[in-house]
């Protein structure tokens, strides 16, 4: 098997696998990262979103070969309980979820948005999250949380 | 209306069913309180609300409370986590159990410290009295036997004495979810775990006639191919390997023709033509009836709806000899165990079913089905555990759906347009085919085995338990007389079971649309019209509150409309009134939902608001977009592209006013909004466009259809 090298949450990572494997399968399988979730396997729900560079993409239909030499960020790389990303703090403050299965993908889409547009309006947030599905109906809280995180980051 | 003071004293239902105090509450030597409810977390925040109740009643910091996941290995049996009953049932049981336990400890502390119980105070579990004497729950725990039955008559704190209940404590599970600490069953791995996938045909009811296995056997990592009649699946060392083997197996499978599905464009006619069991749900005879001048009849329909969990259903199973351990996101671990025992022909004590969190399920989805799948596949895995996950396509086509409904309302009016008689009839499949209720299993794979069980035809819970198809069909309004009938189908080509609210969404949509039409015909304001027919002050309060909050009725502007909807969920639960503001001509956009709700005592107000907001947004999605699609042989809406749901850019603003009633028994909030939101949107569409859409969902096609009928 060929080896493919990329940076995963800032760490140089080598993977020996079929280059056509889906990135999600590699992340959740060999690499043991359970943050990105399987939802549909067809780039229709956003539960598996990761950042490649500063873009949020569905890892379920991203082939492994396509991330060679790139930066891949999963929810695990965004922040931790000890050192949370402002988005994670804001989602807790706004209690912005119910079941939370979609939330790792939504946090990634939101993080990508804030990298590209640090001062988004509510409509920008909705547009950035439009490909992420939430079935519990926590949308409005999530939008508020993203705006809250943006404000916190701007105030720094 | 219910008041809290019980006389004569009776135990809360869940506590009466599971009276041993230690089955609910224990004290660990590490200074924790271990709370073990029979209800499970399904994303509704119940675990936090129950922790609040326990911490309050025992006077301990909520940080000391450890919540145990339900398991048949020892949890109280509280049936199923459904029907917005968890706070009502589990919450009351825990409150009363804790109140009694607190007294037991106070009594013992009083003996030890030589201080009267009245002089003792409890703070974070430390029991202290005058002169600096003190002890604690944990110090005394060794000498207190909680393996005793609860006694009726324990007196919980007054609402004013509670420190946590009534406050928006942050949910205990949310940090794990935003930091991606594995909590979901999908993310859980057991040592030596294998991966399983099940092969199912897209064709409804097709039989597996041939299964060529060579290609699947050649896939790296394959452990076993399992076949038992029409049930087939693979077990692999890796998840990728399981997917690849399933793909190969699918190519080698041949299927018979299935069974014919109904015509999706003639659903109402089809529902009304099926063999059915007819029941009179309720009848009210007029004391003095007005004179009938004319009769109005309207028919309403709602389609089959998918639960549409964001996660495909998942389970793990592990055999040890003739014992099996199952991990599941089922809403009822004991009920699932009962069905597994029937299928496996094993005694109950050979099966342990343990809950783990899944994604929101919104009712009976494939959670229980996949648990049997895992148990069957794990038989081929020796003693190794197997985790099985469904595909998105199977989740959207083989899991049970919320039942389609046809509802007819007929009212006799007097010369002034006042209602003198009211008749409400419902046609559709039953709304419940949950496991554990019958002598036959309700699990999908049970019907696929070589020695199959018959398909379980959905039934309806009794009206005393809230009803099923008939839920919320009995008017809350003071009409002089009525008759409510339900026709439950005895055939079930499309599988149905519990979806949030059961029949309430359809019935409230029908009743509230019909009333809106009557009010409009009389030229009467819909708020006034409803208030005039309601004598329950709590019902009047939510309607007045929402009208005030939404500045009812906002002045008319082009392309916009406002509509009202009201219900008391299950006629005994939460009161909820909604005003919808919509815009649009071809495609309807819901701009804002203003909601007033009364759940009695709100244990966690933000949790209640979160549930109401979520329910309102989900209902908006049902109303504007959702409809299970099918052709003659298969469910065709098996992807998100074919079963679209509401997206961020389409979500309305939702404003919730919570009417606090700390001295009233708490009731659930999760299903209160769906019916009134549905009706409010439909009524707002009429206000904006002058057309009544009586067939859900309110899509562009349905609007055009309704306009053609009007013109």
Instruction: Render A27-74 in DSSP notation, one character per residue.
Output: HHTTT---SS--S-SSSSS-TTEEEETTEEEEGGG-BGGGGTT-EEE-
Residues paired with B580 in a beta bridge: B563, B593
How far apart CA B568 and CA B673 sit, in angstroms, is: 10
Question: What pLDDT score does B56 carry?
Answer: 96
Interface test with A, best of B175, B180, B185 (most A CBs within 10 A): B180
**B90–A contact, CB cutoff 8 A:** no
**B180–A contact, CB cutoff 8 A:** yes
Pairing verdict, β B589-598 and B575-583:
antiparallel
What are the C-alpha distances in Å from B190 to residues A89, B195, B490, B619? 31, 11, 42, 37
Residues paired with B419 in a beta bridge: B413
Interface test with B, best of A100, A110, A126 (most B CBs within 10 A): A100
Question: What pLDDT score does B7 carry?
Answer: 65
Q: Could B179 and A139 be called an inter-chain contact, meaning their C-beta atoms sit closer than 8 Å?
A: no
Three-state DSSP class for B599? coil
Question: What pLDDT score does B6 carry?
Answer: 52
Domains of chain A, start order: 3-77 (3.10.20.30), 79-155 (1.10.150.120)
Q: Could A39 and B639 be called an inter-chain contact, meaning their C-beta atoms sit closer than 8 Å?
A: no
3-state SS, one letter per residue, for B621-689: HHHHHCCCCECCCEECCCCCCCCCCCCHHHCCEEEEEECCCCCCCCCCCCCCCHHHHHHHHHHHHHHHH
For residue B332, which of B72, B679, B66 has the smallest C-alpha distance?
Answer: B72
Q: Is the peptide bond before B8 cis (omega within 30 degrees of 0)?
A: yes
Question: What pLDDT score does B458 carry?
Answer: 98
Distance between start and end Cα atoms, chain B = 46
**B313–A contact, CB cutoff 8 A:** no
Three-state DSSP class for B519? helix
For residue B697, which of B615, B619, B630 has the smallest C-alpha distance?
Answer: B619
Which residues, in sequence order, are CB contacts of B125 under 8 Å at separation 6+? Answer: B31, B33, B58, B59, B60, B61, B64, B136, B137, B138
Question: What pLDDT score does A59 carry?
Answer: 98
For residue B532, which of B479, B572, B579, B588 has the smallest C-alpha distance?
Answer: B479
Three-state DSSP class for B61? coil
Residue given tokens 């993310």 in the structure block: B187
Q: Cβ distance B259 to B493 under 8 Å?
A: yes
How far apart CA B127 and CA B568 sit, in angstroms, is: 43
Containing H/E element for B298? strand B294-302
Three-state DSSP class for B9? coil
Q: Could B44 and A134 be called an inter-chain contact, meaning their C-beta atoms sit closer than 8 Å?
A: no
For residue B72, which of B343, B326, B291, B311 has the smallest C-alpha distance?
Answer: B326
Query: pTM of the full predicted structure?
Result: 0.96
**B184–A contact, CB cutoff 8 A:** yes
Q: Cβ distance B553 to B546 under 8 Å?
A: no
Q: Could B170 and A79 be called an inter-chain contact, meaning their C-beta atoms sit closer than 8 Å?
A: no
**B259–A contact, CB cutoff 8 A:** no
For residue B292, which of B416, B410, B422, B414 has the smallest C-alpha distance?
Answer: B414
Domains of chain B, start order: 13-177 (3.30.365.10), 185-257+308-397 (3.30.365.10), 405-431+468-710 (3.30.365.10)
| Chunked mean pLDDT (size 10), chain A, 156 residues | 92 96 97 97 98 98 98 97 98 97 98 98 98 98 98 94
Helix A103-116 / helix A139-155 crossing angle, nearest 10 deg: 40
Q: Cβ distance B687 to B626 under 8 Å?
A: no
For residue B548, which of B579, B517, B515 has the smallest C-alpha distance?
Answer: B579
Closest-CA residue of chain B to A41: B392
Residue given tokens 């027919």 in the structure block: B533
Interface test with B, best of A76, A129, A135, A145 (most B CBs within 10 A): A135
How far apart CA B548 and CA B101 sit, in angstroms, is: 45
Beta strands, E only, B48-91: 65-67
Segment 211-240 of chain B within 8 Å of chain A by CB: 238-240
Residues paired with B81 in a beta bridge: none
Q: Could B184 and A101 be called an inter-chain contact, meaning their C-beta atoms sit closer than 8 Å?
A: yes
How far apart CA B546 and CA B617 sit, in angstroms, is: 17
| Chunked mean pLDDT (size 10), chain B, 711 residues | 62 96 96 96 91 97 96 95 87 97 97 95 96 96 96 94 92 96 96 98 95 98 98 97 98 96 96 98 88 96 98 98 98 98 98 98 98 98 98 98 98 95 98 95 98 97 95 97 98 97 98 98 96 98 98 90 98 98 94 98 94 98 98 97 98 98 93 98 97 97 89 71
Q: What angle (nearest 5°) sits at the alpha carbon of residue B191, between those of residues B186 and B197?
A: 45
Q: Could B180 and A92 be called an inter-chain contact, meaning their C-beta atoms sit closer than 8 Å?
A: no
Which residues, in sequence order, are CB contacts of A147 under 8 Å at separation 6+? Answer: A120, A122, A125
Question: What pLDDT score does B290 carry?
Answer: 82
Query: Cα Rg for chain B, rounded, in angstroms?
Result: 27
Question: What pLDDT score does B5 carry?
Answer: 54
Question: What pLDDT score does B2 carry?
Answer: 47
Closest-CA residue of chain B to A84: B179
Per CB-CB distance under 8 Å, the chain B contacts of A35 are 180
Task: Measure in Å the smallest separation between the Cα of A156 and chain B Cα atoms.
Answer: 22
Which residues, in sequence order, are CB contacts of B502 under 8 Å at separation 6+? Answer: B402, B431, B432, B460, B461, B466, B467, B468, B469, B471
Q: Cβ distance A2 to A19 under 8 Å?
A: yes
Count CA atoms within 13 Å of residue A106 on its CB side.
Answer: 34
Q: Is the ipTM of this complex over 0.90?
A: yes
């Amino acid at each position: 098997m060929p080896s493919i090298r990329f940076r995963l949450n800032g760490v140089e990572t080598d993977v020996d696998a079929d280059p056509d494997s889906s990135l999600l399968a590699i992340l959740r399988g060999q690499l043991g990262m359970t943050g990105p979730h399987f939802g549909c396997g067809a780039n229709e729900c956003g539960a598996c979103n990761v950042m490649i560079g500063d873009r949020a993409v569905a890892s379920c239909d991203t082939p492994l070969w396509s991330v060679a030499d790139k930066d891949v960020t999963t929810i695990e790389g965004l922040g931790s309980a000890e050192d949370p990303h402002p988005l994670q703090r804001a989602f807790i403050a706004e209690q912005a979820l119910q079941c939370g299965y979609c939330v790792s993908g939504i946090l990634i889409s939101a993080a990508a948005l804030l990298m590209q547009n640090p001062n988004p309006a509510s409509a920008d947030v909705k547009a950035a999250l439009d490909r992420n599905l939430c079935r519990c109906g926590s949308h409005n809280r999530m939008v508020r949380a993203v705006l809250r995180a943006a404000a916190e980051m701007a105030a720094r | 209306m219910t008041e809290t003071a019980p006389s004569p004293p009776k135990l809360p239902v869940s506590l009466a069913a599971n009276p041993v105090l230690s089955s609910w509450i224990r004290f660990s030597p590490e200074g924790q309180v271990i709370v073990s409810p029979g209800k499970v977390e399904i994303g509704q925040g119940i675990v936090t609300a129950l922790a609040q109740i326990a911490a309050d009643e025992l006077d301990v910091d909520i940080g000391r409370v450890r919540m145990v996941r339900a398991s048949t290995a020892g949890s109280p049996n509280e049936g199923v986590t459904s029907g917005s009953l968890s706070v009502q049932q589990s919450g009351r049981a825990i409150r009363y159990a804790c109140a009694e336990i607190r007294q037991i400890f106070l009594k013992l502390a009083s003996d030890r410290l030589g201080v009267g119980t009245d002089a003792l105070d409890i703070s974070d579990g430390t029991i202290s009295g005058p002169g600096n004497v003190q002890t604690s729950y944990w110090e005394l725990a060794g000498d207190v036997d909680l393996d005793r039955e609860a006694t009726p008559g324990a007196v919980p704190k007054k609402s004013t004495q509670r420190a946590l209940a009534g406050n928006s404590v942050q949910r205990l599970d949310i940090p794990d979810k935003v930091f991606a600490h594995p909590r979901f069953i999908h993310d859980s791995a057991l040592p030596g775990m294998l991966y399983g996938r099940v092969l199912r045909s897209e064709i409804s009811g097709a039989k597996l006639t041939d299964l060529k296995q060579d290609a699947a056997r050649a896939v790296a990592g394959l452990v076993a191919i399992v076949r038992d009649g029409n049930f087939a699946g693979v077990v692999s060392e890796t998840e990728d390997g399981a997917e690849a083997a399933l793909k190969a197996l699918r190519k080698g499978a041949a299927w018979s023709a299935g069974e014919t599905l109904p015509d999706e464009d003639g659903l109402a006619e089809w529902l009304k033509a099926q063999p059915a069991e007819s029941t009179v749900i309720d009848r009210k005879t007029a004391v003095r009836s007005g004179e009938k001048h004319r009769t109005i009849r309207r028919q309403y329909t709602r389609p089959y709806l998918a639960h549409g969990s964001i996660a495909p259903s998942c389970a793990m199973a592990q055999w040890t000899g003739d014992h099996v351990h199952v991990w599941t996101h089922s809403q009822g671990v004991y009920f699932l165990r009962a069905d597994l025992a029937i299928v496996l022909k094993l005694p109950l004590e050979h099966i342990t079913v343990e809950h783990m969190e899944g994604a929101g399920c919104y009712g009976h989805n494939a959670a229980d089905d996949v648990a049997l799948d895992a148990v069957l596949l794990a038989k081929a895995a020796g003693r190794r555990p197997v985790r099985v996950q469904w595909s998105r396509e199977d989740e959207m086509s083989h899991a049970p759906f919320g039942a389609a409904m046809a509802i007819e309302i007929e009212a006799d009016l007097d010369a002034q347009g006042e209602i003198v008689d009211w008749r409400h009839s419902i046609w559709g499949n039953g709304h419940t085919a949950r496991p554990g209720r019958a002598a036959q299993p309700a699990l999908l794979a049970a019907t696929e085995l070589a020695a199959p069980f018959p398909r379980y035809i959905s039934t309806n819970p009794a009206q005393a338990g809230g009803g099923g198809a008939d839920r919320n069909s009995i008017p809350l309004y003071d009409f002089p007389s009525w008759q409510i009938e339900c026709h439950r189908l005895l055939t079930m080509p499309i599988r149905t079971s519990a979806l949030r609210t059961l029949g309430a969404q359809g019935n409230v949509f029908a009743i509230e649309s019909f009333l809106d039409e009557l009010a409009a015909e009389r030229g009467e304001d819909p708020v006034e019209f409803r208030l005039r027919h309601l004598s329950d002050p709590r019902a009047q309060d939510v309607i007045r509150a929402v009208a005030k909050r939404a500045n009812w009725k906002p002045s008319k502007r082009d392309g916009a409309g406002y509509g009202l909807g009201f219900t008391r969920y299950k006629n005994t639960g939460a009161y909820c009134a909604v005003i919808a503001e919509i815009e649009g001509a071809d495609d309807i956009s819901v701009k804002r939902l203003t909601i007033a709700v009364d759940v009695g005592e709100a244990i966690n107000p933000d949790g209640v608001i979160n549930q109401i907001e979520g329910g309102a947004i989900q209902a908006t999605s049902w109303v504007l977009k959702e409809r299970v699609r099918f052709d003659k042989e298969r469910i065709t809406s098996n992807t998100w592209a074919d079963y679209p749901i509401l997206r961020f850019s389409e979500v309305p603003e939702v404003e919730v006013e919570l009417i606090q009633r700390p001295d009233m028994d708490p009731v659930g909030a999760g299903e209160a909004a769906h019916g009134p939101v549905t009706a409010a949107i439909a009524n707002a569409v009429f206000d904006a466009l002058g057309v009544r859409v009586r067939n859900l969902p309110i899509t562009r096609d349905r609007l055009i259809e309704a306009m053609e009928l009007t013109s």
